[in-house]
Amino acid sequence: MASCTYNHFHHFVRLCPHVFCSGNHGIVSIVEAIVVLPSHLSSSLKRKSHSQSKTSLWFESLRKSYQHLLINLLRWRYLLILSFLFIFYGVFQIGKNNLNVVLFPSEMAKQFFIIIELPDGSNLEQTTKVTKQVEDLILDLDPGEIESFTTRIGGSYERILLPTFGKDQSFIRVNLPIYSKQLRSASAIVEQLREQTKLISGIKKISYEIESGGPDVGRPITMRMSLSNAIADYLEKIKGVKDIERNDLSEKKQVQVIIDYQTLSWLGLNATDIALNLRTAYSGETVTTVKYEDEEVDFRVCCDSESVKDLDTVQNLLIPNARGNLIKFGTVVKFASKNGTPDYYHYNGTRAVIITADVDQDIITPIEASNQVLNKFDIKSDWPGMQLL
């Protein structure tokens, strides 16, 4: 009302001088002030009812109740904070001691891996033959139970943190249908294959890993190098832990060449002569090149591959010295068989051994298995300088 009165007064003061001026300028404004502006006063003459609707009464009642609640809570704010802390601690303890949470159960697995290892010294042909038998078992499954599978000969599967390679290793990745279309769970299929593959001869070790989905968090258990033997033995005793793997296993056997340097020098030879002749015996040496039209063909001389497998034959090979004399290998070198050294792996710059295992989640969870290992070994007292991660 005050604002409307002020506006009218402002127009009156502004237009009043035009009344005393000659001519027709300002006539439109004066007509607007007399005719139109009074209509704006009509809204100020209407009286509003002070009665409130049912909706307003309901909201006002809710507002007052909430206000009353806040006042009481603020009055006892310190007790309220302590109560919330006590409840949070109780929920945390219940979750820690009574809830075995498995974020990605194996029943919802989308694929699984079969890792095959043959005895040391096995070649690719033997590895392929054994792997083919495992593939046949997979093909015997119901067609609706699997979608596809892929096989790699000569190495472990690429999903692990530090894969290994060798002629005596292979792995098979089996892809499953989506969970809603699976006839059997991955665990059931794996257990069937586990029993069937026990009947295949020539396998040193075969293990299975079920890919449960979700982000790749790694397999359940990771341990330090010095404890690897003790931890692996302890894991084998834990019920529900299976398919234990480690990345520090020795490679295939190697032949070490031990040189008698004193005799070598006396006969006019050096270590380079030994290395070059051994390489020629096994890998060959290009002695000439012949050109046939536009193609160059290398002629390589080497020993028969079957003959050099016998170390006695290699020891009888002849090496020419600086004076043109032929010296037998066995005069200056000896051969010794030994286990090959494994690859060295590091974790954050520190030498490490990674031990991994799968678990039967109906018996034990990965967290429970890890806690049993951590509680079993007193690292600070019994294994100073070592770490369990």
Q: What is the pLDDT of residues 33-49, one digit of tens each?
A: 666 666 666 655 555 55
Q: Could you tell me if 212 and 257 lie in one domain?
A: no
Same domain as 204, residue 260: no
pLDDT, tens digit, for every residue of 63-116?
Answer: 888 888 888 888 888 898 999 899 988 888 887 777 666 656 666 678 888 888
Task: Say what the pTM is.
Answer: 0.42
In a domain, 100, yes or no: no
Measured between alpha carbons, how far is residue 325 from residues 79, 130, 270, 287, 328 in Å?
100, 49, 14, 21, 10
Q: Indicate whether 185 belongs to any domain.
A: yes
- Length of the chain, in residues: 389
In this structure, are residues 223 and 355 in contact, taking their beta carbons and an 8 Å threshold?
yes
Side chain identity at residue 68, one-letter code:
H
pLDDT of residue 223: 44
pLDDT of amino acid 221: 46
Query: What CATH number does residue 196 fall under?
Result: 3.30.70.1430
The residues facing 209 across adjacent strands are 113
Which residue matches tokens 């309901």?
58
At 251, the amino acid letter reads E
Whole-number pLDDT of residue 288 = 85
Q: What is the pLDDT of residue 145?
A: 86
* Residues 205, 285 within the same domain: no
Q: Which residues of 323-335 are buried (b: 16+ CB within 10 A; e: fewer)?
A: eeeebebeebbee
Flag whether 195 is in a domain: yes
**Beta-bridge partner residues of 174:** 112, 149
pLDDT at 137: 92
Low-confidence stretches of the chain (pLDDT < 50) are 2, 160-161, 217-218, 220-223
CATH of the domain at 261: 3.30.2090.10
The answer to whether residue 74 is domain-embedded is no
List the one residue out of 55, 59, 44 whose CA is nearest residue 3. Answer: 44
Residues 210, 260, single domain; the answer is: no
Domain co-membership, 210 together with 279: no
In a domain, 179, yes or no: yes
Distance CA 300, CA 305 (A): 13
Q: Alpha carbon of 331 to those of 234, 312, 321, 349: distances in Å?
A: 49, 12, 13, 44
Residue at which a domain ends, from 302, 320, 340: 340
Examine the domain organization and report whether 213 and 270 are in the same domain. Answer: no
Q: Is residue 52, in this structure, part of any structural domain at all?
A: no
> Domain for residue 69, yes or no?
no
> The domain containing residue 200 runs over which residues?
106-218
Same domain, 209 and 112: yes
Structural domains of the chain, count: 2
